[in-house]
């Protein structure tokens, strides 16, 4: 699901408009969850405020990353570096130790990300650093909101209520994004591609809602790692559906990232 909505972002004519519309749909779905579930415990509200703020940086960095690079290049770096940082930080911040399998995963993911960051069609190129750096910035925000939300959803005693309020708060923050584009652009996008962005909102809400529910009952590092096996689907979508170049080096690097995130889910 997650790779699917990122593919929608990559092909969007105007990614700012697309991001606003996707988050408007997420906010509408979040409001439904709020009305149907218990309110989060008050102890979780500081986490909700913090994650809403971090998500705004995530969205900005994501737009910049897809303006600079391909889905099959940006996505594995962003989604691979997120669980890498979570695995390293979950010990001191969440109280979870790094198991042997997770340590192996950290090494593999690091190697895969380094290869993806520099290589295209088997050649190391400096210009690949721009999308790679934006993707790493995305990964940093992923790690931040993952740890925040893992603590917040556990403190909420109402995972679905927490999910609902998270998407509503994100939607409210996006009110400030509307001024970045003329109203006519939003109106045209709603008329012409509303099905596309409704689908994007459903994919976003579904993918992260399931993830947060998992955080409420399981260890954060392996769940965050397993979530990012979507890099495999992003590689397929980018190369087969979007016509992006995907040479042998990218294939190998994406496979290493995928192996790394799977290894990070092993707690032995």
Question: Structural domain boundaries of the chain?
Answer: 2-263
Q: What is the pLDDT of residues 178-188, one digit of tens each?
A: 776 777 777 77
Question: Would you give the DSSP letter of residue 41?
Answer: P
What the block records as the tokens of 181 is 């584009």
Q: Please give, one letter per residue, the 3-state secondary structure of 187-242.
A: HHHHHHHHHHHHHHHHHHHHHHHHHHHHHCCCCHHHHHHHHHHHHHHHHHHHHHHC
For the record, the structure tokens of 94 come out as 């969440």
The torsion angles phi and psi of 56, rounded to 5 degrees, stand at -65, -40
Residue 216 in this model has a pLDDT that exceeds 60: yes
Quick one: pLDDT band at residue 50, thresholds 50, 70, 90? Answer: very high
- Report the percentage of the chain scoring pLDDT > 70: 72
Tell me the whole-structure pTM to 2 decimals: 0.76
For 156-172, the pLDDT digits (tens) are 999 999 999 999 999 88
Instruction: Quote the CA–CA distance of 201 and 25 in Å, as a whole number.
Output: 5
Instruction: Provide mean pLDDT across the span 235-261.
Output: 66
Q: Which residue has the tokens 């042998």?
A: 248
Q: Quote the tokens at residue 141.
A: 């925000």
**Could you give the angle at which helices 71-94 and 129-156 cross, rounded to 10 degrees?**
40
Q: Which two tokens stand for residue 71?
A: 């889905």
Reported as a single tens digit per residue, the pLDDT across 63-100 is 888 888 877 678 778 877 877 787 777 767 766 666 77
């Amino acid at each position: 699901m997650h790779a699917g909505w990122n593919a929608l972002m990559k092909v969007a004519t105007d990614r700012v408009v697309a991001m606003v519309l996707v988050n408007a749909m997420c906010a509408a779905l979040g409001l439904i969850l709020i009305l149907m579930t218990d309110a989060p415990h008050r102890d979780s509200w500081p986490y909700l405020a913090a994650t809403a703020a971090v998500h705004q940086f995530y969205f900005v960095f994501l737009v910049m990353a897809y303006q600079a690079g391909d889905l099959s290049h940006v996505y594995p770096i962003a989604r691979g570096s997120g669980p890498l940082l979570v695995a390293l930080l979950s010990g001191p911040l969440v109280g979870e130790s790094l198991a042997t399998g997770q340590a192996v995963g950290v090494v593999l993911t690091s190697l895969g990300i380094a290869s993806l960051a520099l290589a295209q069609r088997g050649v190391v190129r400096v210009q690949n650093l721009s999308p790679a750096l934006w993707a790493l910035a995305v990964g940093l925000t992923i790690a931040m909101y993952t740890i925040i939300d893992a603590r917040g959803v556990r403190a909420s005693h109402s995972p679905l209520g927490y999910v609902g309020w998270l998407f509503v708060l994100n939607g409210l923050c996006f009110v400030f994004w509307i001024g970045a584009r003329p109203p006519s652009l939003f109106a045209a996008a709603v008329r012409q591609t509303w099905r596309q962005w409704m689908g994007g909102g459903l994919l976003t809400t579904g993918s992260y809602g399931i993830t947060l529910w998992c955080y409420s009952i399981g260890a954060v590092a392996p769940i965050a790692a397993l979530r990012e096996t979507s890099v495999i689907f992003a590689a397929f979508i980018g190369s087969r559906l979007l016509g992006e170049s995907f040479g042998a080096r990218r294939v190998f690097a994406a496979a290493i990232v995928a192996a790394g995130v799977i290894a990070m889910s092993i707690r032995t």
